[in-house]
Amino acid sequence: MILKKVVKQILPYGIVKLYSSHRQTEYYKSLAPSAFWIQPHAEHEECVIIASGPSAVQNRQMIQAYSQKADFFSVNRSLTAHWVSELQPKIHVIQDPVYFGKTKHFHTPAFVKNIISDTQNMLSKITWGLKLYVPEYAYKKATELYGTKNISLVAFPIAPPPENLERTTKFQLMDSGLYNCGSYNVVLGALYLAMIAGYKTIWLVGVDASTMLSINVDQHCRTFTKIMHFHDDAGEKDFLDMDMETFLRNSYIAAKEFNFASEYASYKGIRVINTSLDSLRDSFPKGCLGEEPYEFLRKTNE
């Protein structure tokens, strides 16, 4: 211990810090990824991630015209839309606990049952080779619920790296497949997969953060949103099993994780462009599919 202190005092702070970061990285790398975790590989230079926001439909024709230039990823129940399934996405991502029968932060058992049933029906219609990425903790349950002959199930990490690590260390661990950008939004999972797959440009479609536009509280002080997903019954009230404080806290964490994903993209030299021009997500430049993005003028607290 005495020798260690002496060495720390003699060596420049930067070298000590670098060595400490290296040791942390090696330790976390010794934690092997799940045996069911297979990193994806890009077939094109570009990728289009189709989320559930209403702006996806507005860009439908441009997306379809882009089908020969890019690989497609989809999330949640976006595949229920016929025009999305026609694109035959390479990867589909579901990571919310409700899809695996978890009700802790969600609704009634009947609601969960309907979500699972609808998802099973959606996936049963898959006629091409689709890779379905699910959280590591839910892999076993997912095989019971969603395994079909045309679907290959893959487990992937959804937790972000520990906060106390250096930024470069975090990125190295994510490169190794040990950690994700975050778990508060399924788009983060799809985006992480696209970034480690090797795409040079990633287009986000339907990433509107529309839930935040419709959040409200009724006369009974129940928090609800109006469903705005393009593949659901738009306008119906969706009561949340959380109060406003919890909703705002979760929204803050999601925004923070999207910003972290933006930093990871910069680290890897990847362009991520949000095609939803009215989106509340400000972590990435906005622009029309296939065109140069608008100037990125976001203000930060740094």
Question: pLDDT exceeding 90 applies to what percent of the chain?
Answer: 60
pLDDT over 70 at 89, yes or no: yes
pLDDT over 50 at 50, yes or no: yes
* Residues 280 and 212: beta-carbon distance below 8 Å: yes
Q: Which helix (H) or strand (E) holds 2?
A: helix 2-10
Q: Is 154 helix (H, G, I), strand (E, B) or coil?
A: strand
Phi, psi of 271 (to 5 degrees): -85, 125
pTM (two decimals):
0.86
**65 contacts: CB under 8 Å, gap ≥ 6:** none
pLDDT over 50 at 7, yes or no: no
Q: Which residue has the higher pLDDT, 257 or 98?
A: 257
Domains and CATH numbers, the chain: 44-274 (3.90.1480)
pLDDT over 60 at 189, yes or no: yes
CA angle 121, 132, 174 (to 5 degrees): 150
* Residues 154 and 133: beta-carbon distance below 8 Å: yes
- Dihedral sign of CA atoms 148, 150, 152, 158 in order: negative
Amino acid at site 183: S
The mean pLDDT value of the chain amounts to 86
The span from the CA of 269 to the CA of 271, in Å, is: 7
pLDDT over 60 at 142, yes or no: yes
